Amino acid sequence: MHLLDAVPLINALILGLSIASIWLIAALGLTIIYGTVGVINMAHGEFIMVGAYTSYALQSSIGLPFLLCLPASFAVVALVGLVIERGLIRYLYNRPLDTLLATWGVSLVLMQGVRLIFGSDPKYIAVPQIFQDNLAFGPFGLSVFRLVVIAITAAVVAATAWLFYRTRFGMQVRAVMQNKEMAASFGIDADRVYMITFAIGAGLAGLAGSLFGVLAIVLPTMGTAYVVQAFLVVVVGGGSLVGSVAAAGLTGELQSVFALFSNDTFARFLLYVLIVVFLRFRPRGLFAVAKARR
Amino acid sequence: MLLALDRVTSYYGKTPILKEVGFDLPQGQCLCVLGRNGVGKTTLLRTIMGLTDRASGAIRVEGEAIERAPTHKRAKYGLGYIPQGRQILPQFTVEENILLGTFARSDGARGVPDLCLSLFPYLAENLHRKAGLLSGGQQQQLAIARALATNPRILLLDEPTEGIQPNIVAEIGQTLRRLNRELGITLILTEQHIKVARKLGDAFLMMENGRIVARGPIGEMTDELIERHMTI
């Protein structure tokens, strides 16, 4: 095979990596909230949306540089998550169906609330000129901003893994996940663990929203566009961090390669069909989390 | 009095499992709780740890009332719990399981205590092994090590010899005796093996249907009492 024939495929793989990083960062907060707290957070897409609006608001009002908008969005949405957890979710931990309904309600409130404050017209987040360039190595290319997203996703995944597998807090989280009663019997406050984890998960959604506001336009309904992919990644991965990384990588690359031979829409259709077939044979995903909590 | 229970009634749902139980446990004693299956021995220990749905009555550790405190705060009063079935965390390594105990310490120490390693050489040599791979006896050692890592004043042991090979039963009995006699740790244990109870205990409680039906120094635990309350 001539080298030039491989160029489109390699470009598709590079784009696939970019798609994977976007889906992964969209799914990261959902993963740790589902994997740890056991709550299926229907408001995840709206946490992403609120993150995008936070960045937009801070940029347009006080002119905060984009790179500082990222941690600011994390902090603001983490706080929103904290309030929602303390005010609502914590009363529903033993009632999974009710959390589904309650978080869906939260998503509607957030969407309408943002619409009331900011209106329904699209907003834009500006980035430094350098992020708008395209990077090219011979026939291979990718926009600088997509590279930034890949780098930030990698850094955030590494930081999350460090938090959960290398710190005392992470040990508390993993102890609560395995056996809540035993964790409590040895001095671990499961309530506090859930609260902090939920806030971190919400914050990660906010950070993702800040990035997505640059990739696309900022709208009150933008969350729904990402939340489907986020749920797919979590379900295919099985709810663990390593599962989500693997699932995002796999589905992102497949989407990109399928699109090479057809188009985006058909590629997505094909991917969804494959996922349905996959879940038929592995209903608990690639890496299932053991459930022993009460 | 190190541990005192006064008229404690404990519920699962609306059903009282433990009824009007009271006893005093002085520092350094070993109290054996005896009785048939299902009389409330496990519930007694779970009530002290705050793991039942609801309880009334008073529980004091060195005069401090703990009955209102949630489980994770009770652990910090120096209660080291060794539950029925061990309940070690299978996905954690041996080391992580022992370190779990350190979250209940009040002195802030964070390492694996030397005592755990010197008492259980097998654990010391297998710190990085997944705990789920250990045998029953090794898991029981790990459960004891985990409770010791809390720097406990009282160890609550629920059937420590249940489901363990006979040669290991004696070994665990010796370890507990050492902890009690040499290190002065107060023990409260539920037990089916009369032999182990006689060897270890200073005092006994006999339970039936959620109530204490007999009590006294271990010397007063007559065969007639055992016949009446423990044989089926």
Q: Give the residue extent of every domain in chain B.
A: 1-78+154-166+188-232, 84-152
- Cα A292 from chain centre: 25
Residue among B106, B125, B124 at smallest CA distance from B115: B124
Confirm if B2 and B153 have CB atoms less than 8 A apart: yes
Averaged over B129-150, what is the pLDDT? 95
**Cβ pair B90:A189 closer than 8 A:** no
The predicted pLDDT at position B193 comes to: 81
Averaged over A1-21, what is the pLDDT? 86
Q: How far away is chain B from the Cα of A54, in angstroms, using its nearest Cα?
A: 37
Averaged over A163-171, what is the pLDDT? 96
Chain B CB contacts of A171 under 8 Å are 96, 99-100
Residue A5, pLDDT above cutoff 90: no
The predicted pLDDT at position B187 comes to: 96
Q: How far away is chain A from the Cα of B88, in angstroms, using its nearest Cα?
A: 8
> Given phi > 0 = left and psi -120 to 50 = alpha, else beta, which region is A38?
left
Does residue B185 sit in helix, strand or coil?
coil
**Cβ pair A186:B150 closer than 8 A:** yes
Averaged over B143-166, what is the pLDDT? 93
The CATH superfamily holding the domain B1-78+154-166+188-232 is P-loop containing nucleotide triphosphate hydrolases (3.40.50.300)
Residue type, A91: Y
Q: Largest Cα–Cα distance in chain B?
A: 49
**Cβ pair A178:B89 closer than 8 A:** yes
**Cβ pair B75:A190 closer than 8 A:** no
The predicted pLDDT at position A123 comes to: 96
Q: What percent of chain A has pLDDT over 90?
A: 82
Q: List residues in chain A touching B: CB distance below 8 A.
A: 168, 171-172, 174-175, 178-179, 181-190, 290
Q: Which residue of A has its CA nearest to B90?
A: A178
The predicted pLDDT at position A2 comes to: 66
Q: Which residue of A has its CA nearest to B98?
A: A186
**Cβ pair A179:B87 closer than 8 A:** yes
B101 close contact with A: CB closer than 8 A: yes
Q: Which of the residues B42, B71, B88 would you substitute to probe the A interface, choosing the one with the greatest number of A C-beta atoms within 10 Å?
A: B71
Chain B CB contacts of A289 under 8 Å are none
Question: In this predicted model, what pLDDT tens digit does every residue of B55-90 receive, in sequence order?
Answer: 999 999 999 999 999 999 999 999 999 999 999 999
B78 close contact with A: CB closer than 8 A: no
Chain A CB contacts of B91 under 8 Å are 174, 178, 290
B69 close contact with A: CB closer than 8 A: no
The predicted pLDDT at position A1 comes to: 55
Chain A CB contacts of B70 under 8 Å are 184, 189
- Looking at this predicted complex, what is its ipTM? 0.94
pLDDT band at B17 (very low <50, low <70, confident <90, very high): very high
**Cβ pair B71:A175 closer than 8 A:** no
B81 close contact with A: CB closer than 8 A: yes
Q: How many helices (H) and strands (E) does chain A have?
A: 11, 2
Does residue B84 sit in helix, strand or coil?
coil
Residue among B100, B54, B10, B106 at smallest CA distance from A182: B100
Residue B232, pLDDT above cutoff 80: no
Chain B CB contacts of A178 under 8 Å are 89-92
Residues A27 and B46: their CA atoms lie apart, in Å, by 39
Residues B198 and B229: their CA atoms lie apart, in Å, by 16
Residue among B225, B175, B165, B231 at smallest CA distance from B199: B175
Q: What percent of chain B has pLDDT over 90?
A: 81
Averaged over A193-207, what is the pLDDT? 97
Residue among A216, A196, A198 at smallest CA distance from A49: A216
Residue among A289, A61, A49, A81 at smallest CA distance from A177: A289
Q: How far is CA B226 from CA B163, B173, B214, B215, B222, in A?
A: 21, 20, 10, 12, 6
The predicted pLDDT at position A96 comes to: 84
Chain B CB contacts of A182 under 8 Å are 83, 87, 89, 100
The predicted pLDDT at position A293 comes to: 43
Chain A CB contacts of B104 under 8 Å are 185-187
Residue A151, pLDDT above cutoff 60: yes
User: Between A139 and A73, where is the model more confident?
Assistant: A73
- DSSP structural state of residue A131: G
The predicted pLDDT at position A148 comes to: 94
Q: How high does pLDDT run on average in chain B?
A: 93
Residues B215 and B21: their CA atoms lie apart, in Å, by 12
The predicted pLDDT at position B205 comes to: 95
Averaged over B87-116, what is the pLDDT? 94
The predicted pLDDT at position A75 comes to: 98
Handedness of CA B55, B59, B61, B65 (dihedral sign): positive
Pairing of strands B15-25, B186-190: unpaired
Q: Which of the residues A164, A167, A176, A186 would you substitute to probe the B interface, choosing the one with the greatest number of B C-beta atoms within 10 Å?
A: A186
The predicted pLDDT at position A3 comes to: 63
Please tell me the pTM assigned to this model: 0.91
Chain B CB contacts of A184 under 8 Å are 51, 70-72, 75
Confirm if A157 and A204 have CB atoms less than 8 A apart: no
The predicted pLDDT at position A292 comes to: 41
Chain B CB contacts of A183 under 8 Å are 72, 100
The CB density around residue A161, as the number of other CB atoms within 10 Å, is: 14
Question: In this predicted model, what pLDDT tens digit does every residue of A40-61 receive, in sequence order?
Answer: 999 999 999 999 999 999 999 9
**Cβ pair B87:A182 closer than 8 A:** yes
Q: How far away is chain A from the Cα of B82, in angstroms, using its nearest Cα?
A: 9
The predicted pLDDT at position A289 comes to: 60
Q: How far away is chain B from the Cα of A168, in angstroms, using its nearest Cα?
A: 9
For tokens 């589905």, the residue is: A251
Confirm if B110 and B149 have CB atoms less than 8 A apart: no
pLDDT band at B217 (very low <50, low <70, confident <90, very high): very high
**Cβ pair A175:B100 closer than 8 A:** yes
Residues B7 and B199: their CA atoms lie apart, in Å, by 29
Number of Cβ pairs < 8 A linking chain A and chain B: 63
Residues B161 and B150: their CA atoms lie apart, in Å, by 21
Residue A164, pLDDT above cutoff 60: yes
The predicted pLDDT at position B144 comes to: 97
Q: Which residue of A has its CA nearest to B151?
A: A186
